[in-house]
Amino acid sequence: MSSPQSRDNKDSKERFSRKMSIQEYELIHRDKEDENCLRKYRRQCMQDMHQKLSFGPRYGFVYELETGEQFLETIEKEQKITTIVVHIYEDGIKGCDALNSSFTCLAVEYPMVKFCKIKASNTGARDRFSSDVLPTLLVYKGGELISNFISVSEQFAEEFFAGDVESFLNEYGLLPERETHALDQTDMEEDIE
């Protein structure tokens, strides 16, 4: 004769060992999908909040200025808190290509800084920017020139890279702190799993 307790144990074993119904599976699966949607939503809200709390506009690439008027407009109409670094260059001048490449990297690393470049022949002041003073860097903030470097490639080794230009600008206190991303891509991927 079986005891009531052994019958309860048998019933509970059967409940646990039976296969999941399609509805139960879909409910569990739907819960996981809902969880993933909530994580994505939370992550998006955090990114939006981080961007809103970051002061000033974001750039992330190098602007090619075509005319002297566009150059002046860029300096005068930008927000007062934005640092603008302008490379005045000409094709075929030693150091100009390396500085353009360095700007491309730095623009990504410092998206709150507006990196621009303009050919000396397009500035409208070609006589001021002869080949012997190129490459030239001009740094503006609040519409005011705060620093200028003539023949800046002389400050670097024969071959120089973005890290060298970054160190040079940091030496003069012209770049803000590098941004740290609150939500790393790998963290985001781990959240999804």
- Please write the tens of the pLDDT for every residue from 48-71: 776 665 666 788 899 999 999 999
pLDDT digits (tens, 9 = 90+) for 96-112: 999 999 999 999 999 98
pLDDT of 10: 61
Q: Which amino acid is at 178?
A: R
Q: The pTM is what?
A: 0.65
Residue 9's pLDDT is what? 61
Q: Are 64 and 125 in contact (CB under 8 A)?
A: no
pLDDT band at 182 (very low <50, low <70, confident <90, very high): very low
CA 127/CA 4 separation, integer angstroms: 104
Give pLDDT tens digits for 3-16: 555 666 666 556 55
pLDDT tens-digit series, residues 128-153 = 888 888 999 999 999 999 999 998 98
> Can you give the pLDDT at residue 190?
47
What does the pLDDT read at residue 101? Answer: 93
Query: Is residue 148 a contact partner of residue 139, using CB atoms and an 8 Å limit?
Result: yes
In sign, the C-alpha dihedral spanning 119, 125, 130, 134 is negative
**136-141 and 114-119 as β-strands: parallel, antiparallel, unpaired?**
unpaired
38/160: higher pLDDT: 160
Q: Looking at the predicted structure, is the pLDDT value of residue 28 above 50?
A: yes
Work out the mean pLDDT of the chain and round it to a whole number.
80
pLDDT of 185 higher than 50? no
Closest CA relative to residue 100, chosen from 132, 69, 61, 131: 61
In angstroms, how far is the first alpha carbon of the chain from the final one?
A: 50
**Predicted local confidence at residue 179, as pLDDT:** 61
Cα-only R_g, the chain: 29
Q: Give the lowest-confidence range in 127-131, 146-150, 160-164, 185-189.
A: 185-189
Q: Are 143 and 76 in contact (CB under 8 A)?
A: yes
